[in-house]
Each structure stands twice: as C-alpha cells, then as structure tokens.
A and B are shown apart, each in its own frame.
Chain A
C-alpha cells in the first residue's frame, strides 16, 4: 500500500487531476439531479432522486477530501469559487436535465461508469483511495440498480416513453465516451496500479450498458462518433448552472458555517 508521501510530484499532480475530474462530474450531475426536487413525476421518485444526488455530492466530498490530503486544498472553495473555465467536469454531466427519460438514462450511464470504476479502485495501491472506493461503491451499486430499473420501464413502457428514452440515448451516447478520457499523466498511475485502468473499465462498461440497453430494453445504440474534446471544453450550459449553484456561497464568502 502506498502512502501520499511515496508519490512522486508528477504522480501527485496527475492524481489530483483525476480526483478533481471525478468530483467535478459528481458535483455537476448532483446539481442536475437536484433540479428535480419538487418536480419529479411522483413524490417517491422525487425523494429517491434527491437521495441519489446527495450521495453523489457525498462522493464528491470523498474525492475532494483525498485531494485535500495531497495539496491541502479546501473542498468548499473548489466547489463554490471556481468558474466554468476552471471546472473539469465532462459536458455529459452539464447538459440540461431534459425530461425524466433523459435524466434517468444519463444517471444510468453514469452510475454504470462510477460503479465499475469504484469497483476497480478498491484494488488501488494508493490505500486512501482504496478505502474511499470500498465505501462509495456500495451506494453506487444501488444507484445503478435503481436507474437501470427506470430505464427498463421507460424503454418497455408506452410508445411515448420508448421514443423519449431512445431520443435520450441518441443524444447522450457520444457525450458518454468523455467519461473514459484519461487526464494528463493518468496512464502512468494506472501502470503503477494507483488508479484503475480506464480502458478496462470502458470495456466492462460497454458490455454492461449494451446488455441492459440493447438486449433487455430493446434500444438502439447510435452509430455516432464520440465527442473527443477534453474536459477543458464546456457547453454554454455550465456557466448558468454554476451561477445558481454558487450564488449563496459567493454572496456570503466569509460565512463561517452553513
């Protein structure tokens, strides 16, 4: 097992980039999930999605906590005082919440990624990450079950729900590939068994989602090219999201407690 002190400066920098990327995806997706609070199709699902979004935010807290151990950064400052140009989330997570099918399908694709990534990360040679992954993967497996259940019911539901689910898949599919883009220096960390091998996670993810979406739900994977731009490129949707999410923190920057 590797402690923080055993990491080289290059390794530390790459690990910080990956932890921040993970946290940024969680924060932005959690906000999109939170936008359904009070608006979900049924009270019980309102509660369920709010729970899932809170869990994702909790995972972001875990990742940023790991980053704090490496560079002493303040998770709240990172979440609430960086602007769109500094956020490193995928465009996949920042797209507007869309309809219920879009939200459930995106959450399913994301949950499948995170559950598989965390499962692999439990074997990390970096002990603090392995511990965090073991804790978070339990929740993520439940998220995945819940969103898989919803995607199945929408895809096999009415012609309207099937149409909307297929439309969501067609729109989201090229963006989903961004989740598997390595950050700078990530390959070296994977070779040192500090981080999961992204290509291996991608292979397992494709098998999992294809089995569910195509074989079980009868949906069609679109033949679109993946969006290949990096995490430093954002859509116009991120800035307004951050403006809302950060408004209280920026209005009271000296607040001592929340």
Chain B
C-alpha cells in the first residue's frame, strides 16, 4: 500500500529557554510553534510563563539547534563534522534525569568553527553530561531586559501562584466533610456496576488444575 505524505504545513518549531532569576542559567523548558521570532517569544510567554517566576525568555529555531547524547556520538560520530557559521555558540547540558521539567541548562559559550565543532568542545568541557546541545548566538531571539518588558511580561506572574488540587472545592460540600459527617457510604453494597460483571466465559476459567 503506497502512502503519499502530506506536506508539513506547521509553523517552525522553536525551543524555549527560561531564566527564573538573575544569575541563574537559562533552561530549556519546552517548545512552541510560531511564524516568526517575535511571535515565538510571545507564544512562549503565554505557554510557559503565566505563573512561574521568570526574568528572561529566549527562543531558538529548532533547525538552529544541534544536540547529541554520548550514545549518538558513538553510533554517528559524523555529527561532530556538522558545518556552519564560525562564532560564539551557547552550550546546554543535561546533567541528571531527576528533574523532568527541564531538558538542559545553558552553562556557557564556546568559540567554534561550526555547530559540530561547538558540540566537540561541549563534550570536552562536560564529559559526563547525558546530553549536549549547542546553537549559535546569532540564532537567539530574546526578551528585552528593560523595565517595561519585565513589568508587563514577567511581574504579573509573581502574584499568581499555583493552587493545589485540594484547594478547589466541589459544588455543595467537600467530600471529606461529608465523610466526617457520616453521610458518605462506606463499602459499596448496592448492585455491582455493569463493568464489574462477567460478560463472557474465558476458556481458562474452566480449566481445572
């Protein structure tokens, strides 16, 4: 059966990097689809910075990123030959799998002849990383750090904290309150639900040991 793939009509994908506070590293927190750099930043703000603290957002077009794991470099060492522009490259590394909310932390920059060279330098400087990620400085689109931007993009989120699930009640009384008042049934003793009933006999059920 032949299958003709339909053309990809999605906007380009951008990786989003968020800085929680001055002095902290920018961290890769996810991606957005957007038509252009400015749109990518706006969308990133709405998707990722509605509540948590942030002071700066970067977006980098997915096509401008080069990533590799140690395993990938073993199987495809040619990644280190990836050519591109010479200049300053940002380096991101994943140190641990414990934090699931971020992919990599940006740990600094290197001067490299291209993305592959930057990846090689990243591996030399951080040999124990689980993943390396590099992109040229010229590919970054970032929020301004002027007062107006910080005030309108990031400051409102500071007052908006997450609520734990139990903070939301239910219509009427909370179930805990009803339990304490002895108004919730303990064990279900009515007719079993349809889903609980056996609707067919499995052959194994009849096999005697």
Which A residues are within 8 Å of any B CB, using their own CB? 42-45, 47-48, 51-52, 55, 135, 138-139, 141-142, 145-146, 149, 153, 252, 255-258
Q: Are B171 and A141 in contact (CB under 8 A)?
A: no
Residues of chain B within 8 A (CB-CB) of A52 are: 46
- A146 and B42 within 8 A (CB): yes
With known contacts A44-B33, A51-B50, A145-B152, A256–B173 Cβ distance under 8 A: yes
User: B170 within 8 Å of A by Cβ?
Assistant: yes
Contact B152 A255 (CB under 8 A): no
Q: Judge whether A48 and B42 touch: CB under 8 Å.
A: yes
Q: Mark B41-57, 1 if CB is under 8 A from A, else 0.
A: 01101110010000000
Q: Looking at the complex, which one of B33, B36, B46, B152 makes contact with A141 (CB distance below 8 Å)?
A: B152
Shortest Cβ gap from B42 to chain A (Å): 5
By a CB distance below 8 angstroms, the chain A residues around B174 are: 257
The 10 closest A-B pairs by CB, nearest first: A257-B169, A48-B46, A141-B152, A142-B152, A44-B43, A255-B171, A138-B152, A139-B156, A51-B46, A44-B32
Contact A44 B156 (CB under 8 A): no
CB < 8 Å A-B pair total: 60
- B residues sitting closer than 8 Å to A (CB atoms) are 11, 32-36, 38-39, 42-43, 45-47, 50, 148, 151-153, 155-156, 159, 168-174
User: Complex: how many Å from CA A258 to CA B168?
Assistant: 7
Query: Which chain B residues lie closer than 8 Å to A43 at the CB level?
Result: 33
Which of B43, B148, B155 is within 8 Å of A45, CB to CB? B43
A143–B168 CA distance with the chains assembled, in angstroms: 28
Contact B11 A42 (CB under 8 A): yes
Name the residue of chain A whose CB is nearest to the CB of B14: A44
CB-based nearest B residue for A42: B33
Q: How far is the CB of B18 from chain A (nearest CB, A)?
A: 15
- A45 to B40: give the CA distance in the assembly, Å: 11
* 26 pairs of residues in contact across A and B, judged by CB atoms under 8 Å: A42-B33, A43-B33, A44-B32, A44-B34, A44-B47, A48-B42, A48-B47, A55-B156, A138-B152, A138-B156, A139-B152, A141-B148, A141-B152, A142-B45, A145-B152, A146-B42, A149-B38, A149-B39, A149-B42, A153-B35, A252-B171, A255-B171, A257-B168, A257-B170, A257-B174, A258-B169
